[in-house]
Amino acid sequence: MRALVLSRYGGPECTALADVPQPSPRAGELLVGVHAAGLNPVDYKTRAGGLRIIHRYSLPVVMGNELSGIVEAVGAGVMRFAKGDRVFARVDKNTMGTFADYAVVHEDHAALMPASLDFLSAAAVPLAALTALQALRDELHLSAGQRVFIPGGAGGVGTFAIQIAKQLGAHVATTASPRGEALVKRLGADVVIDYLRERFEDKLSGYDCAFDLLGGETLARLWSVLRRGGRVVSIAGIPEPMTARKDLGRGSGLAALFWVASLTTRQRAARHGVSYRYLFMHPSGADLAYLASLIEAQKLEVVIDRVFPFTEAKEAIAYLETGHAKGKVVLAMR
Ligand SMILES: NC(=O)c1ccc[n+]([C@@H]2O[C@H](COP(=O)([O-])OP(=O)(O)OC[C@H]3O[C@@H](n4cnc5c(N)ncnc54)[C@H](OP(=O)(O)O)[C@@H]3O)[C@@H](O)[C@H]2O)c1
């Protein structure tokens, strides 16, 4: 089968389209004929080797983290899916493999596609929407009437996060350039700050929580936006000890490393009386089924920036890597 293969860590030249053996589903797994695959920053971060401390792939490896497609076969013991089902999934982080004609997915990570979506839109959902849901609902415990700041609302995660926060009844402030302003307003943002012209900390204060999608300088300036007792969850800043234990199931070695790396960030948070957590999302078929129900009820819209044919997978990753996508970038596999 055709696949985009990573043969060593580095730039785009380290990936190539290649013919590789088709995978076989093991117990509990589905073999999915991939119709579309969503792209995410984790794809180019993985290619560059930036996540080696967390996931050690044995190279060469087929890239790609999420898919939509049709179940072609099931492994022993699969209970919830059958050949012919239209499914979508964020696949196991330790295997990847969705930039290919066929991929295997554990049944616990898959859900039936919303009937109202085509394969391209369905492939855009899993990783970004699961991240937004798990951050806002499970980590920030966002509830009706609360105020949340979501810097960077126009991208893959942000377009889902704004909508999910509104679903939870929150007031949402976000940042976007003029290129993304109309989009984030349409998705429900109550306050939009043009980050090219204004500093958000001059405009916002007393917020209950923030969901940081940008890290770096944005995270460093975020604290004064929050009230004392407020909460920050970042998916782009510095991992902290709980990231190692709760999200990665790792021991004290990695937790200690993250403790050191996040010291300045945690000290800043403490000075402002705010809690800080770095989240790694996890695959979840149950959460994905919930997101599918929101989509079916027309409460969650999928925003696609661009679709590339599979033969242009490298160009698609390079496009996402410019950092200016509005919504999601997707590969059409068939
Ligand atoms: N920890 C996890 O589990 C997890 C999961 C998913 C994603 N992530 C991380 O979360 C981050 C966001 O992911 P994504 O998929 O949303 O990325 P993305 O789709 O590439 O985000 C692009 C968007 O970010 C906006 N942007 C860039 N700089 C900005 C700034 N300074 N202020 C406001 N907006 C800005 C861009 O708007 P303009 O074009 O208008 O500048 C663009 O619309 C990435 O670092 C990704 O690796 C982590």
**Model confidence at 246: pLDDT above 90:** yes
Distance between CA atoms of 228 and 268, rounded to whole angstroms? 12
Give the tokens for residue 329. 């970038």
The residues near 56 (Cβ < 8 Å, ≥ 6 apart) are none
Q: Is the CB of 236 under 6 A from ligand 1?
A: yes
Query: In 192-304, where does DSSP find H-type helix?
Result: 200-203, 216-220, 241-242, 252-261, 263-271, 285-296
Q: What pLDDT shows up at residue 55?
A: 87
Q: What is the mean pLDDT of residues 238-260?
A: 96
Q: What is the mean pLDDT of residues 298-325?
A: 98
**Model confidence at 56: pLDDT above 90:** no
Residues pairing with 70 in the sheet: 33, 86
Q: Which among 90, 105, 94, 102 is positioned nearest to 3, based on CA atoms?
A: 102
Q: What is the mean pLDDT of residues 161-172?
A: 98
**pLDDT one-digit tens code per residue, 58-73:** 999 999 999 999 999 9
Q: Residue 60: is the preceding peptide bond cis (ω within 30°)?
A: yes
Pocket test for ligand 1, best of 187, 195, 211, 213 (most atoms within 8 A of CB): 213
Taking the CB of residue 14, how many other CB atoms lie within 10 A of it? 16
- Ligand 1 centroid–CA 321 distance in Å is 10
- Ligand 1 centroid–CA 83 distance in Å is 36
**pLDDT one-digit tens code per residue, 177-188:** 999 999 999 999
- Angle, helices 156-167 vs 178-186, to 10°: value is 30
Q: What is the average pLDDT value for the chain, to the nearest integer? A: 97
**Atom 2 in ligand 1: residue holding the nearest Cα:** 280
**pLDDT one-digit tens code per residue, 110-159:** 999 999 999 999 999 999 999 999 999 999 999 999 999 999 999 999 99
- Residue 322 has φ and ψ, to the nearest 5°, of -65, -20
Distance between CA atoms of 17 and 98, rounded to whole angstroms? 13
Residue 299 confidence class, pLDDT cut points 50, 70, 90 = very high
**Atom 26 in ligand 1: residue holding the nearest Cα:** 152
Beta strands in 39-196 (DSSP E): 61-62, 66-74, 86-90, 102-106, 110-112, 147-150, 171-176, 191-194
**pLDDT one-digit tens code per residue, 182-237:** 999 999 999 999 999 999 999 999 999 999 999 999 999 999 999 999 999 999 99
Beta strands in the chain (DSSP E): 2-6, 15-19, 29-38, 61-62, 66-74, 86-90, 102-106, 110-112, 147-150, 171-176, 191-194, 207-212, 226-234, 275-278, 304-309, 328-332
Q: Is the CB of 323 under 6 A from ligand 1?
A: yes
- Ligand 1 centroid–CA 49 distance in Å is 19
**Atom 4 in ligand 1: residue holding the nearest Cα:** 235
**Atom 21 in ligand 1: residue holding the nearest Cα:** 155
**Model confidence at 295: pLDDT above 90:** yes
Ligand 1 atom closest to the CA of 131, numbered from 1: 5
Distance between CA atoms of 123 and 64, rounded to whole angstroms? 11
- Ligand 1 centroid–CA 212 distance in Å is 9
